[in-house]
Amino acid sequence: MQVKLDQLRSFEAVARVGHFTRAADELYLAQPSLSRQIAALEADLGAELFHRGSLGATLTNAGELLLPIARRMLGDAQTAREKMDELSGLHRGRVRLGAPPTLCVSLVADVLAAFRSAHPGVELHITEGGSRFLVEALNEGALDLALVVTRAVNPTVPGTELIPLLAEELVVVSSAGSAMPEELTLKELAHIPQVAFNRSYDLRVATDAAFSAAGLETVVAVEGAEMDAVLRFVERGLGVAVVPAMVVHDRPGLRRARLVSPSLTRTVNLARRNDVGPSAAAAAMQQFVFDIVDRLAAPGTDLARLVTAAPRDSEN
């Protein structure tokens, strides 16, 4: 038995108005087409559904049994259509986004604020963690999208597509009232007390590697802090810290200096699975990420010298 929604729709209309021709007019069908649909439905069910007469059509016992079922099926189909329309229109849905803590206090905060304003009905779930952990969570299906940090050129991750978003300098931050110069070399920085991140941070690994490669030892004022604590400690004058440039954006309590000789940079990427297409909500989130990145890196902005947006294919 292959009952079709069009057949049920025609059956319900005839049952409601009691006439084949009026039902066909209501459904914008030719009367012979509607009659063929009803005949096919009766053949599939193996029962007559209407008593046909000169004055119209009335339900048989089989038709009376089918009518509430047909209406329920048509109602469920309409509900399903509305739910899908809501999802595609982003009135509902869910996005699970992962990002390192250094991005959650900068880029992600801006993205979520803009997305929430445009699509308040979509649930947002954020997971913080290191890039390796986030890629694993993405490939296990626990995340829809992730922002991850890399330092290699054109990195590859099995099962994951990485879309470069921007190249970001690491800068030195101090309290707003400090007399720190506008530029510091790595050697000069090594003599200034620092607030050091927890060793689980990718950022801590990168800065330790840079000092080690230069044969330098650092002066640590506070060690093992998380991102929020690091920024607060620096604002209170406990030391300086090496952070991504975007972290300092819109933070009047902090002063930044460019790190030179050598400069340190990182690449921020959008990671997504290459074997599963994004949901409507995830696709919209992806576009918001692109838009915010372009806005932050636009010429003339406060971050223009420190953040460079990566070129992207139009398909992305």
The pLDDT of residue 289 is above 60: yes
Provide the pLDDT for residue 315.
56
Residues 286, 289: Cα–Cα separation, whole Å? 5
Of residues 199 and 115, more confidence is placed in 115
What CA–CA distances, in Å, run from 192 to 8, 161, 175, 231, 254?
Answer: 78, 40, 13, 16, 16
pTM of the model: 0.70
User: How confident is residue 274, by pLDDT bands cut at 50, 70 and 90?
Assistant: confident
CB 157 within 8 A of CB 203: no
Domains and CATH numbers, the chain: 5-88 (1.10.10.10), 94-309 (3.40.190.290)
Burial of residue 38 (number of CB atoms within 10 Å: 0-12, 13-18, 19+): buried
Encode pLDDT of 172-191 as tens digits.
999 998 989 999 999 999 99
When pLDDT is averaged across residues 34-62 and rounded to a whole number, the result is 94
Residues 67, 11: Cα–Cα separation, whole Å? 8
User: How confident is residue 144, by pLDDT bands cut at 50, 70 and 90?
Assistant: very high
